[in-house]
Chain A
Amino acid sequence: MAGLTLLTGCDLIEFSPNQTHSPAAYSDLTAKNLAALAARPVPAAAGDTLRIVFTGDSQRFYDEAEALVRSVNQQRGISMVLVAGDISDFGLGRELRWVHDKLKNLRVPYLTVVGNHDLVANGRKTYQEVFGPLDYSFTHARTRFIMLNTNSREYRFDGTVPRIGWLEQQLADTAGVRRQIVVTHVPSMSVDFDPRLEQPYVRALEQAPRVALSLSGHQHNFSIEEPYGNGITFINSYSFEQRRYVVLTLWGDKEFRLETVVF
């Protein structure tokens, strides 16, 4: 058994590209990044301002990932990088490790939400082993980030994804929270979002007390809109491929500013 662990610890020895097992250095990355985030002091000088890099769809763009890391590392006052899903292209463990090999060089923690490509093949369990839960939330600088799996098509639109009940629970927990941000891969306007859950999703956001933004990826292009005319802003990220990301600065209850950075 020790021999088996030794063998599986080395990427060269691979029983199947679909194997879900990941070496310790590439396991539980969400928990590790959250611990790193929690260890970072929220700068007092920043007041209530929070600056994050928002991007998505790193899938198979390794050259671009390297360039993105170099660029982000030159930014000042960034707390974290949010990657809006499709970390991998084929749902394979090695792809997640390759992306981590780039993003681990970031000076700030990065946090991911699962994308539809990450769920293909054995991707669900692979993502869970490498990163962690498909739905999770965390609070940083009084901002609650709710990372929600919205890849409904991968579940045949069976009504279980996204988990609206879980989302409502997270939105209801506002202790010490000034603003709430929902991060998804597939935006609710997409044909890949369960049409029966689109309105429940929008209503959950409307009824929540402090939702500032709904962020997504999947479309491989930046957009900002208020698609439901209810005061909730939806922002879609650039993909890595486009060699652009946005710096999202948040302050006050719902104030924000966006800067596009070309790298």
Chain B
Amino acid sequence: MSFPALLLLHLAAPAPSAPVPADTARPDRARWYVPTHLLAHTAGGQGLAAVGTGWTVSRDRLALEVLAGYLPKKFSITPVGVFTAKVTYAPWQLGLGGTPWHVRPLALGGFVSYSASRGISLSRGSKYEEGYYWWSSRTRVGAFVGGSAGRTFGLTKRGTARSATAYYELGTNDLYLVSWMTNKGGLPLRSILTLGFGVRLHIW
């Protein structure tokens, strides 16, 4: 699925049947289902390149994001579409003394991803009896710690801060974690880590 199609999907999501009460406190706030930002991402198991969109709440402390990533054939049997949903919680934002820069020193997050690719052989299905392999070869669950730094560039039309933020995620996934946990030192923790990077843009 291409990114514009994904974005349209969200923009075209039907309004809930109950009317949304007007948010009188913040008149410029878009309806809740309109995404708050865009992001571009690489690695961390989410594709060579991924783009996504998401929603931030609680003064940007909590972000829920969906991404569509791509892994070309060079790295696979057939090209892979990696579709990821992730949630990131970054409790603290520190301003840098009167500058437009800010830092979120800690972020904790989790993700679920699905890898769509004809060449990725399924670990379940008609070839096997139930439970022949216990894991899914296409769905991964992972967790990460991270941080971000960014700056603001004035205000959007809605009156919120227009900003660009770079972030990193140091994490792992379910299969790596199982491999680590079922050994007593034979597999160092660093060997199961993955590193991902991205940029979040709040531009509207």
Contacts and interface: CB of A to CB of B under 8 A. Distances in A.
Interface residues of A, number: 40
Given A13-B195, A63-B184, A63-B186, A21 B121 contact: no
B48 to A, nearest CB: 4
Contacts of A117: 133
B179 A62 contact: yes
B179 A12 contact: no
Interface of B: 42-48, 69, 71, 74-77, 80, 82, 115, 117, 119-121, 123, 126-128, 133, 135, 137-138, 140, 173, 175-176, 178-179, 182-187, 191-195
Q: Which 4 pairs of residues, A with B, have the shortest CB-CB distance?
A: A62-B186, A63-B186, A121-B137, A19-B75
A11 B42 contact: no
A59 B19 CA distance: 56
Contact of B127 (A62, A122, A153): A153
A168 interface: no
Given A18-B115, A20-B76, 18 more contacts: A14-B195, A15-B42, A16-B46, A16-B71, A17-B175, A17-B176, A62-B186, A63-B184, A66-B186, A90-B175, A91-B137, A98-B179, A121-B121, A121-B123, A122-B77, A122-B120, A124-B77, A156-B126
Contacts, number: 115
Interface of A: 7-8, 11-21, 60-66, 89-92, 94-95, 98, 101-102, 117, 119-125, 153-154, 156
Nearest to A101: B191
A14 B71 CA distance: 11
B82 A16 contact: yes
Contacts of B44: 14
